[in-house]
């Protein structure tokens, strides 16, 4: 509306300043209040300022077109699409309709990732501007929400919204909400004069302002109606029409010739009213002349555009149902676009019709291939409803496709209900497919018993010895917690899927599951299964059990290999926009860095997993437990205890054995760290029983036996400590690992000391074990060996050896941030009689580090020479500087010389 910025100066300035600070801006107000005019002015200002401006202005009709708005917004960045990672490139090409072939199917999550990548690289000053945000099609809205949430303040966002709420998930803490209030008489006078070229008297202007409620759009329509009168209304006379926009449009349409009224109705019923489609429907271009003169719409070179989105909606609402169906049928026969034809057919067909159902299903297939499952759902379901009863197989297939689309869209509740309905109404393969989908929904919703139950019912319904049965077996291998049934299902899946040229990624996942479950059952590790699965993946990782290789490598101390696998998987998940997979991988990375002693990196991954878990609405079990474990390592025992208690309570409520196991381990460790040996023994005893009940011989990621043994020794239960040592020895014999080697040596020293025996032989074994394990493998375990050695030497009254071991332990604990253990080491130091190290006296490790640093060696070179980590080098140097009162390496040589002279 030209001239409608009158009275909006303050609004404009406030919005422009917020955009300049990269704060999101939301223009709010009822339809017709002038949001679009302010929005357009701000967009023009950003363009003049040299910003990269990306805009879309969706309409109500376009809300049914998947990615219509996103395509408009991203089109200026189309030249960057070929440089995107493959999944994102396919997705972006599907959105922009630029793909040469339709062989690749776009994933809706990859669309969000592609949107994020394109916006992130668009330039230093980017404005994403969305007018009438409530009319965004759901697919565009999800992709933009995904991207903008991750971009933060790197882009400015301008949106206009007529309803309450916050579109696009904009950050409320940074959002600038600007409500547009009604205009006064003076401002409306200028708006009307600029728009219509008429000047109304002050009394008439005041009445129009009152009738319109200060809404510029309504004021313009009222003014147009008044200007058509032979004379202005007298003070006692009513205005020519009511204040309802629908009434105004009814009156405006009634004044049009019949041919023009019919043309306007047909244009309003089209999603995008093109002149070509309208001409094919028998509408001549000049049929719109009267409507254009009345200000209802504008005719461009190729399209018809209504003056306001509400106009089209009001026109449609005023068409009688019978007339509307007839017009939809005529338009379906005329339009060129098959998807538009399908939409028109869906609105005019009431009885089963095989041909119409096939067209709707084909349109649904296209939308699903574009990465718009939410749009495809309605088309599939409408196609199923219109499929004749005798074509029951087609109807079942279309209903199943709708369930898959609901699952892909994250609508778990609706997907579960729809899957149950299909399973009830169908038999054979359709029932099996429906129950498998129901099981997958339960798995995604953290309902593990429900996943197993639905999966087993699906297996019973599937024809025996078929690829479908193999797929169900593969999923059941994932759903089962107990290794024995999971192993049987993995073997069956491999046998069935190997016989056909089927889903290689799913077969790889079944091989990973078989390996994983055999190891958990205590069988020898057949790593050839891992190798075969990795080969089958062919660079496209399996989402089903794809983390198993990393879990294995992490368990045996090959941290770099595990990290590389998880990083690779994470890159694939990010490229595909798969947030649930990203969440799982961030949790695994957090655990990998935790056991590798890289606790800062672990904390970052755990925090990222927690943030994503909150956004996805997951139970956040794994990342919360990891956060509690990290708290316990760092000495924050109260917080860690709370995590353990909450986790155990929730595990009992959900009947989740895995969650119970990990939180029992955390509870035992917290109690042990707090000096409550009896409580720790009870937690570990229950943990061992729970593992046994599940039939798990090798709980891979759970490394609790050395702590259990230490707790038993502390509580005086040496028989239980001996049993724990035997259990740990079995695990070490089955698969030697750095932590089992160190745990065995440490536990034997503790047990020897508790029985009163001379621990010299055990201490020598402990020292040898520490030397054999690389410094970066399990740094916490290595430092705990020093702590146990220091305690044993102190009890044997070997003070010098005790002090050396305990000082080194305290230094290593400090280097990795293990506050609770550092405090224990220093408490043991304080119990040693005789002279203790003065605050300025260097420990042996500190002195060695200082002398190498004084020679000009880098931290990495020092770390390699002393078999410690670079982080430990940094921590030792910091203490050296503090003790010697210096600040740089340049001062080290001179100060060390003076120290030597003093002694």
Query: Which of the four pLDDT bands, split at 50, 70 and 90, describes residue 386?
Result: very high
Taking every pair of Cα atoms in the chain, the longest distance, rounded to a whole number of angstroms, is 117
Distance CA 687, CA 567 (A): 31
Per-residue pLDDT tens over the stretch 189-217: 777 777 777 777 666 777 777 766 677 77
Average pLDDT over residues 535-540: 86
pLDDT higher at 426 or 318: 426
Distance CA 719, CA 713 (A): 9
Per-residue pLDDT tens over the stretch 809-818: 999 998 888 8
Q: Say what the pLDDT of residue 309 is.
A: 60
Q: Within 335-372, where are the H helices?
A: 338-348, 354-369
DSSP-derived letter for residue 27 is E
Mapping DSSP to helix (H, G, I), strand (E, B) and coil, where does residue 836 land? coil
Average pLDDT over residues 879-901: 73
Distances (CA, A) of 600 to 4, 557, 591, 595, 889: 55, 19, 12, 12, 26
H or E, element range at 840: none
- For the chain, the average pLDDT equals 86
Mapping DSSP to helix (H, G, I), strand (E, B) and coil, where does residue 814 land? helix
Distances (CA, A) of 538 to 67, 474, 498, 570: 31, 19, 16, 16
Distance CA 332, CA 349 (A): 11
Average pLDDT over residues 83-88: 88
Count CB atoms within 10 A of the CB of residue 13.
10
Strand pairing report for 304-306 and 297-299: antiparallel
Euclidean distance between the first and the last CA atom of the chain, given in angstroms as a whole number: 89
55 bridge partner residues: 129
Mapping DSSP to helix (H, G, I), strand (E, B) and coil, where does residue 178 land? strand
Which candidate, 128, 154, 122, places its Cα nearest to that of 46? Answer: 128
- Phi, psi dihedrals of residue 223, rounded to the nearest 5°: -65, -40
Average pLDDT over residues 627-651: 93
Which candidate, 723, 706, 709, places its Cα nearest to that of 778? Answer: 706
Rounded (to 5) percent helix, strand, coil in the chain: 70, 5, 25
Q: Say what the pLDDT of residue 837 is.
A: 46
Average pLDDT over residues 741-765: 93
Query: Which of the four pLDDT bands, split at 50, 70 and 90, describes residue 243?
Result: very low
Count CB atoms within 10 A of the CB of residue 566.
28
Q: Say what the pLDDT of residue 52 is.
A: 95
Q: Is 799 exposed, middle or buried (0-12, 13-18, 19+ CB in 10 A)?
A: middle
Q: Say what the pLDDT of residue 238 is.
A: 57
Distances (CA, A) of 513 to 47, 405, 488, 558, 687: 55, 27, 10, 20, 24
Average pLDDT over residues 310-322: 79
Q: How open is the CA angle 780-782-784, to the nearest 5 degrees?
A: 70
Q: Say what the pLDDT of residue 476 is.
A: 96
Query: Which of the four pLDDT bands, split at 50, 70 and 90, describes residue 707?
Result: very high
- Phi, psi dihedrals of residue 304, rounded to the nearest 5°: -110, 125
Most confident of 64-78, 510-524, 612-626, 812-826: 510-524
Kindly report which listed range (137-146, 233-242, 494-503, 874-883) carries the lowest average pLDDT score: 233-242
H or E, element range at 167: none
Distance of CA 426 to the CA centre of its chain: 34
Mapping DSSP to helix (H, G, I), strand (E, B) and coil, where does residue 809 land? helix
Kindly report which listed range (72-81, 130-139, 354-363) carries the lowest average pLDDT score: 130-139
113 and 87 in contact (C-beta within 8 Å)? yes
Per-residue pLDDT tens over the stretch 317-356: 788 889 999 999 999 999 999 989 998 998 899 899 999 9
Q: At residue 242, does pLDDT exceed 50?
A: no
Give the pair of three-digit tokens for residue 180.
């547009």
Q: Say what the pLDDT of residue 870 is.
A: 79
Q: Say what the pLDDT of residue 246 is.
A: 61
70 and 111 in contact (C-beta within 8 Å)? yes
Residues of the chain with pLDDT > 90, as a percent, come to 49
Q: How open is the CA angle 326-332-336, to the nearest 5 degrees?
A: 150
Distance CA 846, CA 876 (A): 5
Which candidate, 1, 77, 73, places its Cα nearest to that of 41? Answer: 1
Can you count the helices (H) and strands (E) in the chain?
45, 7
Q: Say what the pLDDT of residue 275 is.
A: 93
Give the pair of three-digit tokens for residue 740.
């089992």
Kindly report which listed range (233-237, 558-562, 592-596) carries the lowest average pLDDT score: 233-237
Kindly report which listed range (249-253, 290-294, 655-659, 781-785) carries the lowest average pLDDT score: 249-253
Strand pairing report for 176-179 and 156-161: unpaired
Which candidate, 727, 722, 728, 826, places its Cα nearest to that of 783? Answer: 826
74 and 537 in contact (C-beta within 8 Å)? no
Q: Say what the pLDDT of residue 103 is.
A: 54
Distances (CA, A) of 702 to 598, 742, 828: 18, 15, 28
Q: Say what the pLDDT of residue 836 is.
A: 45
Distance of CA 513 to the CA centre of its chain: 25
14 and 175 in contact (C-beta within 8 Å)? no
Which candidate, 240, 242, 259, 255, places its Cα nearest to that of 295? Answer: 255
Average pLDDT over residues 868-884: 80
Mapping DSSP to helix (H, G, I), strand (E, B) and coil, where does residue 56 land? strand
Average pLDDT over residues 211-230: 74
Q: Say what the pLDDT of residue 358 is.
A: 95
Q: Say what the pLDDT of residue 2 is.
A: 42
86 and 64 in contact (C-beta within 8 Å)? no
Average pLDDT over residues 860-869: 78
Per-residue pLDDT tens over the stretch 405-419: 888 776 778 889 999
849 and 755 in contact (C-beta within 8 Å)? no
Give the pair of three-digit tokens for residue 539.
């660079």
Give the pair of three-digit tokens for residue 385.
């409803």
């Amino acid at each position: 509306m030209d001239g409608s910025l009158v009275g909006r100066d303050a609004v404009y300035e406030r919005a422009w300043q917020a955009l300049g600070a990269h704060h999101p801006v939301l223009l709010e107000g009822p339809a017709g209040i002038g949001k679009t005019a302010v929005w357009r002015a701000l967009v023009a200002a950003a363009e003049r300022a040299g910003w990269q401006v990306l805009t879309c202005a969706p309409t109500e009709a376009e809300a049914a077109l998947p990615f219509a708005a996103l395509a408009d917004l991203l089109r200026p960045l189309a030249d960057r699409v070929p440089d995107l990672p493959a999944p994102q490139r396919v997705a972006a090409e599907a959105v922009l309709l630029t793909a040469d072939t339709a062989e690749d199917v776009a994933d809706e999550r990859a669309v969000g990732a592609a949107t994020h990548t394109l916006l992130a690289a668009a330039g230093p000053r980017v404005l994403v501007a969305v007018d009438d945000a409530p009319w965004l099609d759901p697919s565009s809205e999800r992709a933009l929400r995904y991207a903008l949430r991750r971009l933060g303040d790197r882009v400015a966002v301008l949106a206009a919204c007529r309803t309450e709420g916050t579109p696009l998930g904009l950050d409320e803490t940074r959002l600038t909400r600007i409500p547009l209030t009604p205009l006064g008489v003076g401002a409306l006078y200028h708006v009307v004069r600029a728009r219509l070229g008429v000047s109304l008297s002050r009394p008439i202007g005041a009445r129009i302002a009152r009738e319109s409620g200060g809404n510029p759009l309504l004021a313009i329509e009222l003014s147009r109606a008044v200007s058509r009168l032979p004379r202005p209304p007298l003070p006692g006379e009513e205005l020519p029409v009511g204040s309802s926009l629908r009434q105004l449009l009814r009156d405006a349409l009634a004044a049009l010739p019949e041919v023009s009224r019919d043309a306007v109705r047909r244009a309003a019923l089209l999603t995008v009213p093109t002149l070509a489609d309208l001409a094919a429907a028998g509408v001549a271009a000049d049929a719109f002349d009267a409507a254009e003169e009345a200000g209802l719409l504008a005719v461009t070179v190729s399209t018809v555009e209504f003056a306001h989105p509400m106009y089209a909606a009001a026109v449609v609402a005023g068409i009688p149902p019978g007339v509307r169906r007839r017009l939809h049928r005529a338009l379906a026969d005329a339009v060129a676009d098959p998807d538009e034809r399908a939409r028109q057919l869906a609105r005019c067909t009431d009885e089963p019709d095989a041909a119409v159902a096939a067209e709707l299903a084909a349109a649904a297939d296209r939308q699903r291939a574009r990465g718009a499952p939410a749009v495809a759902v309605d088309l599939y379901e409408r196609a199923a409803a219109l499929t004749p009863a005798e074509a029951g197989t087609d109807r079942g297939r279309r209903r199943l496709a709708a369930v898959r689309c609901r699952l892909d869209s994250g609508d778990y509740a609706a997907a579960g209900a729809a899957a149950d309905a299909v399973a009830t109404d169908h038999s054979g393969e359709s029932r099996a497919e429906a129950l498998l989908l129901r099981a997958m929904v339960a798995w995604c919703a953290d309902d593990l018993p429900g996943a197993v139950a639905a999966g087993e019912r699906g297996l019973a319904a599937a024809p025996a010895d078929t690829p479908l049965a193999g797929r169900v077996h593969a999923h059941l291998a994932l759903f089962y917690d107990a290794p024995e049934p999971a192993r049987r299902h993995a073997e069956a899946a491999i046998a069935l899927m190997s016989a056909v040229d089927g889903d290689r990624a799913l077969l790889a996942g079944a091989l990973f599951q078989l390996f994983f479950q055999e190891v958990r059952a205590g069988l020898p590790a057949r790593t050839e299964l891992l190798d075969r699965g990795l080969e089958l993946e062919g660079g496209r990782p399996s989402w089903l059990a794809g983390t198993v290789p990393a879990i294995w490598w992490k368990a045996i101390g090959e941290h770099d290999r595990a990290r590389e696998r998880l990083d690779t998987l994470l890159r694939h998940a990010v490229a595909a926009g798969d947030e649930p997979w990203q969440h799982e991988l961030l949790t695994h990375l957090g655990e990998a860095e935790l056991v590798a002693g890289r606790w800062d990196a672990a904390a970052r991954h755990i925090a990222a997993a927690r943030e994503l878990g909150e956004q996805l609405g997951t139970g956040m079990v794994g990342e919360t437990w990891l956060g509690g474990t990290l708290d316990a390592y760092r000495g924050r025992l109260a917080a860690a205890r709370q995590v353990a208690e909450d986790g155990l309570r929730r595990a009992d409520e959900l009947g989740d054995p895995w969650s119970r196991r990990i939180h029992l381990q955390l509870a035992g460790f917290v109690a042990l760290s707090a000096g409550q040996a009896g409580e720790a023994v009870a937690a570990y005893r229950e943990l061992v029983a729970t593992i046994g009940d599940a039939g798990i011989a090798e709980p891979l990621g759970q490394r609790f036996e050395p702590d259990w043994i230490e707790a038993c020794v502390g509580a005086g239960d040496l028989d239980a400590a001996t049993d724990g040592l035997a259990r740990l020895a079995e695990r070490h014999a089955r698969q030697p690992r750095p932590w089992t080697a160190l745990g065995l040596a440490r536990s034997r020293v503790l047990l020897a000391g508790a029985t009163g025996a001379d621990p010299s032989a055990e201490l020598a074994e402990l020292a040898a074990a520490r030397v054999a394990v690389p410094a970066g493998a399990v740094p916490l375990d290595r430092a705990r060996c020093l702590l146990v050695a220091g305690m044993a030497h102190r009890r044997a009254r070997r003070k010098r050896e005790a002090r050396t071991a305990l000082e080194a332990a305290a230094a290593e604990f400090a280097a990795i941030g293990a506050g609770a253990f550092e405090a224990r080491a220093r408490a043991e130091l304080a119990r040693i009689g005789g002279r203790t190290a003065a605050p300025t006296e260097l420990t042996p490790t500190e002195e060695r580090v200082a002398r190498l640093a004084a020679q000009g060696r880098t931290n990495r070179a020092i770390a390699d020479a002393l078999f410690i980590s670079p982080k430990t080098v940094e921590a030792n140097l910091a203490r050296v500087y503090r003790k010697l009162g210096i600040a740089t390496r340049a001062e080290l040589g001179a100060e060390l010389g003076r120290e030597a002279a003093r002694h």
